[in-house]
Chains A and B, each alone.
Chain A
Amino acid sequence: MRRRLTPYLLALPAWLWLAIFLVVPLAAMASVSTQTGNVIDGFQQTFTFANYTDAISRNSPQLLRSLWYGAAATVAMLVLGYPVAYWIAFKGGARKSVYLFLLLLPFFVSFVLRTISWGFLLADDGILFGTLKGWGLLPADFHVLATSFAVIAGLTYNWLPFMILPIYVGLERVDPRVIEASQDLYATKTTTFRKVVLPLSLPGVFAGVLMTFVPAVADPINAAVLGGTQNTMIGNIIQTEYLTNAQYPTASALSFTLMAVLLIGIFTYAKALGTENVLEAAAR
């Protein structure tokens, strides 16, 4: 009896938190998303679902662009981050936590300072590109800031630790003896990796992708700071609609659309990944 209650007791505090502080406000937001009006005269509930179609049709380029930037950044993070997680998990020894801490430490300092510093480092004629241009290694009008590349790189930079840590957490559990044994069995390292390490790390990869792709798609900061004229992301639009235009229904409708798209994306991804663990983790 007691054991059957265990999961419920374990989940209870988080349930309460999520129910009161997430579900209730989201329900309120859902209600707002079909209202009409303006901030001065007020908003009335009119069940105007056209708010959704309007918002989507007006902002579909930004929505698609956000998904593309988020996906590109997530792939970059996976490629860049996996080897780091791998090395720390298997070779980090007693200092594993030190390495993880060092990876996260830059993020304890405000994003404003990091952003300003990147502006300094990557300026067109700054210490990096200015020097290279001086040596004639780059054309004079070369620039990184104000491009799509800068936005994707910024997203990659900002969320990379959130990819590395969960992968590490999964890999760290893999017993080195399993790997030795499998090397005896399969002989090549690639096969060992493919048949043993990779499957065991999949829950971590899933967690990492979830924790980076989703926030990256919704991110309003990198596009605003690093992007150029036509790199606006959906997060920026939501901000403008809510804060500047005080169009709360439009902002809510856009947010729900975004959440729905992300939800579908993640479940499709879980299916495609296909291992039992991951499917369980995502869908049960």
Chain B
Amino acid sequence: MDPLMLRGMTQPRTRRNVLKLAGLSAAGLALAACGVQGQKAQNSPKPEAVKDFWSQQKKNGKVVFANWPEYMPEGQAPLKQFQQATGIAYEYKEVIQENAEFFGKVRPVLQAGQSLGYDIVVMTNGVQLQHMIDLGFVVELDHKQLPNFAANAGEKYKNRAYDPGNKYTVPYTSGITGIAYNTKYVKEDITSIQSLFDPKYKGRVGMMADAQEIGNFGCFAIGVDPEKSTEADWNKAGELLKKQRDDGLVRKYYDQGYIDAVAKGDVWLTMAWSGDVFQRQLAGEPVKFIVPQEGGTIWTDNMLIPKGAANPVDALMLMDHLYQPAVAAELEEFIQYISPVNGVVDILKQKAAEAKGEDKEALDLMIESPLIFPSEEDYAKLRSYRTLTTAEEQVYNRVFQSITQA
């Protein structure tokens, strides 16, 4: 195994010559000449290569964790415990706002062989994560160093279609895309996705703008499992969604604002994420959430080690640290989406038994909520996004974006 290639897997080619203004322009002209470089992953390195790579890495005593804002309790207790337990100093950065934007920003850097300066990055399963993996921007994990993950990760969160065998990623937190409705305006129990297409809610339906989200719901609506859907299915789903729009049922295709809209009654029912709805329920607003009988979408934010990370071993240790049930429970108490770690509910029950007043109320709500701990019945209905090849992706996007972005 060529050690240079090994180095290439994780070490950025740091050319320390900081260019002056003239150099900058030269670089720009070179940029103009070659444009956007492609770089297909050399179909995942051989298993020995990965093994060799990890055998050459050692603990460096520090780790940089890049995450979304409000994804870590104030005071960063889980990270502080990690530092105490391992002596590894951490830097925690809330630098990720959105998957597509994040990919747009890191792609040129990784493509140039430079390091992001992060050892762990959190991304949602979906097109951009797929691109990261396909472009060889993600370091393969060494599962020998992830004993807690092996022991405590929920079966539903292992071996997902977007990353078979958790080769590149382990889940950080999960959520469900289902239907939220405002019980002040909707006087029936919503159970079916067909309610989103019910003419009596004309102008009061919220749909998501994201092609993968709305595409999945379109597939559910025509009775197709989105994970196994074909181009013909997309077209059929697209026609249904187009009719829904042209009949004036849809008020708006939302990015994030749907939750305010449904809580205030601008829309009466809408595609929604479980965690958002749970927050509204905590606030006492009349918003209900269901996984439609036809199916709902489960998505997962995942931790991964980007190529060029300086401290991969420390990164693995931190990932594994977060898979201790006690630590995961602490995260869960703050994040209030769905924890991928087994045993969290028991720890929260213990805490609830000891807590008093408002804290106890909130904990009890969490423990009882199917939005935080989904039932087996719900899990059975949940599907992932369709994993798309590059060619499929173009077709898929065109079908659904022509509806949401008219």
Known A31-B32, A43-B35, A124-B264: A242·B104 in contact at CB below 8 Å: yes
How many interface contacts (CB-CB < 8 Å) are there between A and B? 131
> Is the pair B32, A30 in contact by a Cβ cutoff of 8 Å?
yes
Chain B interface, number of residues (Cβ within 8 angstroms) = 48
- Partner of B39 from the list A19, A42, A44 (CB cut-off 8 Å) is A42
Q: How far is the CA of A62 from the CA of B135 in the complex (A)?
A: 32
Neighbouring A residues of B103 by C-beta, 8 Å? 243, 246
Name A89-145 residues within 8 Å CB distance of B.
116, 119-120, 123-126, 141, 143, 145
> Is the pair A41, B35 in contact by a Cβ cutoff of 8 Å?
no
Q: How far is the CA of A180 from the CA of B38 in the complex (A)?
A: 69
Does chain B have a CB within 8 A of A6? no
Does chain A have a CB within 8 A of B24? yes
Neighbouring A residues of B37 by C-beta, 8 Å? 42-43
Name B1-45 residues within 8 Å CB distance of A.
21, 24-25, 28-29, 31-40
> Is the pair B265, A19 in contact by a Cβ cutoff of 8 Å?
no
Name A223-263 residues within 8 Å CB distance of B.
224-225, 227-230, 232, 236-237, 240, 242-248
Neighbouring A residues of B252 by C-beta, 8 Å? 145-146, 227-229
Which of B71-79, B164-172, B253-261, B318-326 is found at the contact surface with chain A? B253-261
> Is the pair B131, A141 in contact by a Cβ cutoff of 8 Å?
no
Name B91-124 residues within 8 Å CB distance of A.
98, 100-101, 103-104, 107
Q: What is the distance, in angstroms, from A175's C-beta to the closest C-beta of chain B?
A: 44
Neighbouring A residues of B405 by C-beta, 8 Å? 62, 232, 236-237, 240
Known A40-B134, A40-B390: A232·B32 in contact at CB below 8 Å: no
Name A7-26 residues within 8 Å CB distance of B.
16, 19-20, 24-25
Neighbouring A residues of B277 by C-beta, 8 Å? none
Interface residues of B (CB under 8 A from A): 21, 24-25, 28-29, 31-40, 98, 100-101, 103-104, 107, 127, 131, 134-135, 203, 209-211, 245, 250-253, 255, 257, 260-261, 264-266, 390, 393-394, 397, 401, 405-406
List 12 extra interface pairs beyond A39-B38, A230-B245, CB under 8 A. A28-B32, A41-B390, A43-B35, A119-B261, A123-B260, A125-B266, A229-B250, A230-B406, A240-B401, A240-B405, A244-B211, A246-B107
Interface residues of A (CB under 8 A from B): 16, 19-20, 24-25, 27-28, 30-32, 35, 37-45, 61-62, 116, 119-120, 123-126, 141, 143, 145-146, 224-225, 227-230, 232, 236-237, 240, 242-248
Query: Can you report 20 residue pairs joining A to B where beta carbons are below 8 Å apart?
Result: A16-B21, A20-B28, A24-B24, A40-B135, A42-B36, A43-B36, A44-B38, A116-B260, A119-B257, A124-B266, A143-B266, A145-B252, A146-B252, A228-B252, A240-B405, A244-B100, A244-B397, A245-B401, A246-B107, A246-B131
